[in-house]
Amino acid sequence: MKQHQYESKPLDSKGHVHWTDEENEVWSKLVARQLDCINGKACREYFEGLELLDLPKNRAPQIPVINRVLAETTGWRLEPVPALIDFDHFFALLASKRFPVATFLRTPKDFDYLQEPDFFHEIFGHCAMLTHPAFASFTQHYGKLGVKASKAERVYLARLYWFTVEFGLIQSGDGLSIYGGGILSSPAETEYSFNSNEPIRKKLDVIDVMRTPYRIDILQPIYFYLNTLDELYELEKLDLLECVSRAKALGLHAPLYPQKIA
């Protein structure tokens, strides 16, 4: 496994992280830039969740404060983790309504792009959506599926998570909007997914999604949209492991991106 370049910071007895002045400045600049970027692009439910969280703009927030809001809305809480956790741990946390958060912030040299999910990505990208009942319910359901899935099945489930929780869009009567945390925490991905004519945007079909390869280090060539977040409840009603079996039988779609050169 590739060595992670960052390490999570320890928490004190109150569950607080002692962020440095530089880290607080990084948080402040990231939030200011991204709030400007997502204006008019993030979905209404995201902004409602962001208002509930009331994240500080001049310093990195503390986990216990966010946990109080999540507990009051959907019963979730954040779980501080090392920078890397295995899939068994990841799925078990989601199944028990605990969202893993690595307690490190990118350095200024990685300000524009960081492949690893840092504290800003997890908090700014995901926590507002975790206050929404349909999103929170689907995320827990996904964790429960992952707990009982085989290693091979998890690969297909990962694509469903990628194209919903991380890179999901909504196409409704009000137009296009964003709910995926991987988009909402990235200025380049926000602009590209919302305004560019280059990517494909398709109505989400579970089998289709599970057959769609992706790369984590590029702007996504394809996005899948829901018409409403409540459609996540409908996904829970499907036998998603049976969907995995059907996707495996049909085979993967051809990648829409260039292959990496070893």
What are the binding residues? 121, 126, 166
- Closest to 129 measured CA to CA, from 64, 61, 50, 197: 50
Q: Report the candidate in 79, 125, 124, 86 with the shortest Cα–Cα distance to residue 103.
A: 79
Output phi, psi for 170, to 5 deg: -125, 135
| Contact present, 5 and 114 (Cβ < 8 Å) | no
| Rounded CA separation 197/227 (Å) | 20
User: What is the C-alpha to C-alpha distance for residues 182 and 170, in angstroms, rounded to an integer?
Assistant: 14
Per the annotation, binding residues for Fe cation are 121, 126, 166
Q: What angle do CA 41, 45, 48 make, to 5 degrees?
A: 100
Strands 169-172 and 222-226: parallel
